[in-house]
Structure 1
């Protein structure tokens, strides 16, 4: 006899250009309250993975890297923080959840969820204004500050802030990524794992070309679009419909991960599909965004296209935007050079869905680059809340 489904309190939220299923840690079944196979099995079933049809028909996932995500939140165990934030990137066609990195887009929803679900002390929530939510990002051991708008003591979700890649306007949430390239002990030095602003990346069957390998927000490999046969104006179908191109990008990503020291053998890249990211950059050009909106070269500093979980992202991952802002602030990186070079504290870059502004504060101390803060704006809102139901996982 088959057992009935179990139901788990959950909230389905959009954060930035991503969507995910949010849980409070203590609402999960006891076996899933700790990392391991039981937790992964339940979250995979929630999303509907693995799905050989790549549709997520039998789950909450959206069958894309930006909509196949899970978030677990709890009162913070860290001093001077409100909430611990754990992110799981769920593979679509494999029984695999990557816990190796953050989701910058869903970070925008973490503060709102924390406030609405009692994870932020009520004394810190103003009647009107902004609540500063101090987030401990458990995947990458970093502090993030979310400025969540509050009206009449509750989270304000509606507004007129427009974000390219999101259909409707909402309230603006400013996100500060503190010391995004610092080690866990707070020391910088791992921002450029090889010690170089630009390396020569040698990839068998692809070629040798310059690359900026940076760990800020999320480990990211930046290459010049022209060096791999692109213009930087590409939209999703230009890349994702080309299986040979996707295979080349994955090979570049794997060899970049090896050079960054993230893996010890090229075969290990498949076990951390979420990180590092790979992106290609180019100087500004006029192009038509996926929405039909015209993006003018005069309004942007550079073009960036990035891949997530093996596919070109429809807009830009939030963590990759941190990497873009950080690299742009450091003279001599490929991102900085594509933006025209020189010192800068913010850039506006063109992505497939439109444009995005990101800022970063970088400085060089004793020959080492450090970034104290990266800042960008996103929006977030609750799409549905209640219970998610899944068959019991034996």
Structure 2
């Protein structure tokens, strides 16, 4: 039972993480669509490896990225990594420490994997994660949250998908000082972005056998912005009569999630609410260290990522848990339709954690990153 729920949560064995091309083949730029088609085509050709961008990140990022590479080698995954690191100087073309060449790599390859990247607070430059989302138009963040067999938490059989609008809302970055001591932040909600993420959520639900989509909002207070978001969700819901649609105020949603996560299936929401709710859902199943994530962009781009922090306090100490990045890499493989490889790696991760012999400190064990990774390879 637990494994059936787990497989349903991570997605159909034959269905990839959906890209915009599945929803509207004419959307996005020609080059982006071509990148996706070429990547998928190469997935069926054992002779040619698939080129994917890898951002190891900082802090514990390089260590857990190495775990992914080691597991992929053991599983003989046909991936050729193109690695890009965070620069030490701001690139004026991106206004951040991510270079234009790094972004171009993702655009050309159409697929990538990102480790944690820390952006210093209050330093006056653009967030690294925000740069990726805005420049690559990664409009939907898809985060499955499901209970891992053999790892006990306060909740059993959690099986949720949060889909977060990724490009606007309070994260539009439009802030200014009105007068001294008074600052103003603009929340941007557009019809185009709202329809796009709503369409993605409903199509995801239909394709992955989900029965309910819940739109999370605060339209009782923010009647114009969240009101527009709900209007777009309702419009899309009419095209999917087989999917149950509901609207839940965000504060009530938080309470309901903590009381009974089984009340929800797929949740779709604006940017800030998605940031909060997806972390709350991660807490239900053991934390961000166990939660995979994938960003979907126009033109067929998919950038999987570990959404936890860079944990500089344990960086270089061989203590980090690579599970989140490994499971995110699995979603990347499913996106590329490398389902057999994805299944093998996914099952090896689950079996290692369930067995309990090798677990990192955050999972209650004493194993190092290297030992945990080797145990996963042994299960392959």
Larger strand fraction of residues: 1
> By the TM > 0.5 criterion, same fold?
no
Pick 1 or 2: higher relative contact order, CA cutoff 8 A, min separation 6.
2
Larger helix fraction of residues: 2
Name the TM-score class by shorter chain: under 0.3
TM, length-normalised to structure 2: 0.27
TM, length-normalised to structure 1: 0.26
